[in-house]
């Protein structure tokens, strides 16, 4: 009975934490909306500078990883430890692919002098500087969350390998999965706001 109460408490705590994360990104999205209303033409121009192919690949990568994380929890519940390990490793690989894509995307923009307060942007329209400022802040913060999610998944993977996460004790993996789903959900909003802006 105590174990069940503890698991419920941990789960409620995780949901409250996720709610605070939603508020954080929600505030940034509201800020984006306010500036978009003011500089819609320049936001559209800025969006055309982003690589939609990389953005689309990253979207697919995160959606697939979200499925494999959920599948790893099911595998643990069905006592399929090897399958759970494989699914978690694949999910981590997806996270690495996402971050590598983002690294090259940022690197290309910075190489072309497109970053907040760069000479190219400060000498141009303020709307473009604001767009890319929000782009770097929001995608950078999201990238940090991807890294945190990968750390949580890695810890869960080690615990699975050591037999600490089992079909009856999988709270850590479940919470790591919830966090990873949040990371994916946030990207589903980020992708159209920046890459598909019209």
Return the CATH class of domain 2-195: mainly alpha
**For 53-82, how does the pLDDT look when each residue is reduced to its tens digit (9 = 90+)?**
999 999 999 999 999 999 999 999 999 999
pLDDT interval class at 197 (50, 70, 90): confident
Instruction: For residue 108, give both structure tokens.
Output: 């290309």
Contact present, 109 and 139 (Cβ < 8 Å): no
> Which pLDDT does position 4 carry in this prediction?
47
Answer whether residue 1 shows pLDDT above 50. Answer: no
Domain boundaries, the chain: 2-195
Confidence of residue 196 (pLDDT cuts 50, 70, 90): very high
pTM: 0.90
Q: Where are the beta strands (DSSP E) in the chain?
A: none
From CA 64, how far away is CA 90, in angstroms rounded? 9
C-beta of residue 132 within 8 angstroms of C-beta of residue 46: yes
Average pLDDT, the chain: 92
Phi-psi region of 113 (alpha: psi -120 to 50; beta: other; left: phi over 0): left
pLDDT band per the 50, 70, 90 thresholds, residue 198: confident
């Amino acid at each position: 009975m105590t174990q069940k109460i503890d698991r419920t408490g941990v789960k409620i705590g995780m949901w409250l934490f996720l709610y605070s994360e939603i508020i954080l990104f929600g505030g940034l999205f509201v800020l984006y909306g306010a500036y978009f209303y003011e500089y819609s033409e320049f936001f559209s121009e800025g969006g055309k500078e982003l690589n939609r192919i990389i953005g689309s690949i990253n979207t697919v990568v995160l959606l697939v990883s979200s499925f494999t994380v959920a599948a790893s929890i099911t595998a643990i519940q069905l006592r399929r430890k090897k399958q759970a390990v494989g699914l978690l490793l694949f999910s981590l690989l997806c996270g690495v692919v996402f971050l590598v894509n983002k690294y090259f995307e940022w690197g290309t923009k910075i190489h072309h002098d497109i970053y907040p307060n760069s000479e190219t942007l400060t000498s141009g329209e303020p709307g473009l500087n604001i767009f890319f400022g929000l782009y770097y802040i929001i995608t950078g913060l999201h990238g940090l969350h991807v890294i945190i999610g990968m750390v949580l998944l890695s810890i869960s993977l080690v615990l699975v390998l050591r037999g600490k996460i089992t079909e009856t004790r999988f709270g850590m993996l479940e919470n790591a999965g919830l966090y990873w789903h949040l990371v994916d959900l946030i990207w589903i909003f980020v992708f159209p706001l920046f890459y598909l802006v019209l």
